[in-house]
Amino acid sequence: MKFLALGDTADIAASCHFLDVNGTGIVLDAGTDPRRDGPDSLPKFDWVRDRAESYVDHAIITHAHHDHMGSLPVLVEEFPHVMAHMTDATRKLLDFLLPASARLQKKRFEKNETPHEPLFTEDALDFLSHVYLTHELQSDFDLTGVQGRGDLTGRFYSAGHILGSVGVELRFEEDNEERRLFYTSDTNLEPQSIIPGGEYPSTADVLILETTLGADEESEQTSRPEELERFRETLSRVIDRDGTALIPVFVMGRAQEMLAMLQRLKDEGSIPADVPIYTAGSLRAIAGIYDDTRKTTPRLDEDFEVYSVDQERVPYSSEAKADVLDGPGIMVVSSGMMFEPTLSNILARRIVENERDAVLIVGHAVEGTPARRLQEAAAEGPGAPVMLADGHGPQPLYCTVERFRFSGHSHRRELLKIVDHLSPETVLLVHGESEAQEWMQNAIEEQHPQIDVQRPGWGELIEL
């Protein structure tokens, strides 16, 4: 079996891994790097032929975050006979999110915001649905390639990350013995506000493990109830002083989980029921998909509807934005990393100098992103300069900035529990910064010296 990282494995970027299993070519996820533009954001699909001397028969799309599925149209163009496997919920999300991505790329190119033409167009996506195959959780499906020298079977397990998210088990024979590989993708053992915790097979010979929170010591020292209490107290203080609480979120997953949490806080009286919650853009459309699938996907409460949370639209005009920012109010908007020129970045630049207001970061912020720079400036103290957007200059920071660990990822001790549970012979560490992977490698080797732990380099061909 060959493994080749097509996306940068030592970063939280474009997730994409290639496997050649007895002549069958499998791509695990096909993401784009949200910090890069145009072709630079893509995995290196040409390496499949050039380095692995292989081909792609099938793609597994584990969930609908762009860093895991945003380059799927390019993959299909590169390998026209590929079939893409996912859950039905992920398919519904891709049918909405990929056309939206095509329109945004076209708009940015036409406005000279990028020198790069769109990676794909809406018209090109019309064909894409013909390569989608959907599967139920814990049901076997065939992945054997045209030139496969033996059967290859896949099975999905709920990942507990976002709607429709899965880890995938691959089963095949090698030297007349059954072998099992499990790819966690983004995974979460613990329940969130809407989605229950993930599920896993009983064993694996090879484990491909995400490491997003591997360097985050504090996340393992806090519990979700403790974080919820701290969030409740902070939000109440902001509302009491007539401030605006900006909550930057990923439009897919974190947004819906936070809306459910805010509704719970209103229902229990922790925040006034009449405090407006503002949302914008595709959050509302994705809420509809969450609600439409609530009876057919893992849920903590299948009767809860995201659309039932009372929401107002963030006004479009600058003057109207200024009016609602007078507060009190709560703004749940994208992006979670606060990239320029997303709405969370625009709004943050308006409120960072106002001590009544707050930016409440509810997920992991990658190093170098505006969200991480905001956290670092807050650690320096009131008035510290922060640069949120190029060309706008540094601003003194006076608003409240706090991070809450409501991530859809397992912390590092929970990731070690997955290793304990599956007891693999080999672990490949991916999708995390170098410091995170280093901690995970040391911890696994200390607790399980018999396990071969590897950190595949970007473009490194590994024989397993």
b/e code 40-72 from CB counts within 10 Å (16+ = b): ebbbbbebbeebbebbbbbbbbbbbbbbbbbbb
Domain co-membership, 322 together with 208: no
Same domain (yes/no): 170, 65: yes
Domain that holds residue 456: 2-216+408-463
Give the global pTM: 0.91
- Cα separation, 88 vs 91, in Å, equals 5
Same domain? For 95 and 199 the reply is yes
Could you read off the pLDDT of 404-432 as tens digits, one per residue? 988 899 999 999 999 999 999 999 999 99
**pLDDT at residue 67 is higher than 90:** yes
Q: What is the pLDDT of residues 341-378, one digit of tens each?
A: 889 999 999 999 999 999 999 988 888 899 999 999 99
Instruction: Specify the pLDDT at position 263.
Output: 94
User: pLDDT digit string (tens) for 378-405?
Assistant: 999 999 999 999 888 899 999 999 999 8
Q: Residue 89: its pLDDT value, please?
A: 97
Task: Kindly report the backbone phi and psi dihedral angles of residue 196, in degrees, each rounded to the nearest multiple of 5, phi listed first.
Answer: -75, 170
pLDDT in tens, 432-441: 999 999 999 9
The last residue of one of the domains, among 375, 403, 431, is 403
Q: Are residues 294 and 145 in the same domain?
A: no
| pLDDT at residue 413, as a whole number | 96
* 97 and 127, same domain (yes or no): yes
CATH number of the domain enclosing 145: 3.60.15.10
Average pLDDT over residues 67-86: 97
Residue 460 backbone class (left: φ over 0; alpha: ψ -120 to 50; beta: rest): beta
Rounded mean pLDDT of 122-134?
90
How far apart are alpha carbons 222 and 407 in whole angstroms? 12
Same domain, 345 and 386: yes
Cα–Cα dist 82/79, whole Å: 6
The reply to whether 380 and 242 lie within a common domain is yes
Are residues 157 and 301 both part of a single domain?
no
Do 165 and 21 share a domain, yes or no?
A: yes
When divided into structural domains, the chain yields a total of 2
Residue 341 shares a structural domain with residue 455: no
283 — pLDDT class (breaks 50, 70, 90): confident
Beta carbons of 182 and 427 less than 8 angstroms apart: no
- The predicted structure's pLDDT at residue 34: 84
Model confidence band, residue 326 (pLDDT cutoffs 50, 70, 90): confident
Per-residue pLDDT tens for 17-52?
A: 999 999 999 999 999 998 888 999 999 999 999 999
Secondary structure (3-state) at 3: strand
> One-letter amino acid identity for 219?
S
Domain end point (choices 352, 375, 403): 403
Q: What share of the chain has pLDDT > 90, as a percent? A: 81
Per DSSP, 458 falls in state: T
What is the pLDDT at residue 127? 82
Q: Which residue has better confidence, 250 or 165?
A: 165
Do 242 and 338 fall into the same domain? yes
Query: What pLDDT is recorded for position 128?
Result: 87
Domain finish residue from 357, 386, 403: 403
Q: What is the domain-level CATH number for residue 298? A: 3.40.50.10890
39 lies in the same domain as 185: yes
Please check the confidence at residue 165 and state whether its pLDDT lies above 90: yes
Percent of the chain with pLDDT over 70: 100
Return the pLDDT at 318.
83
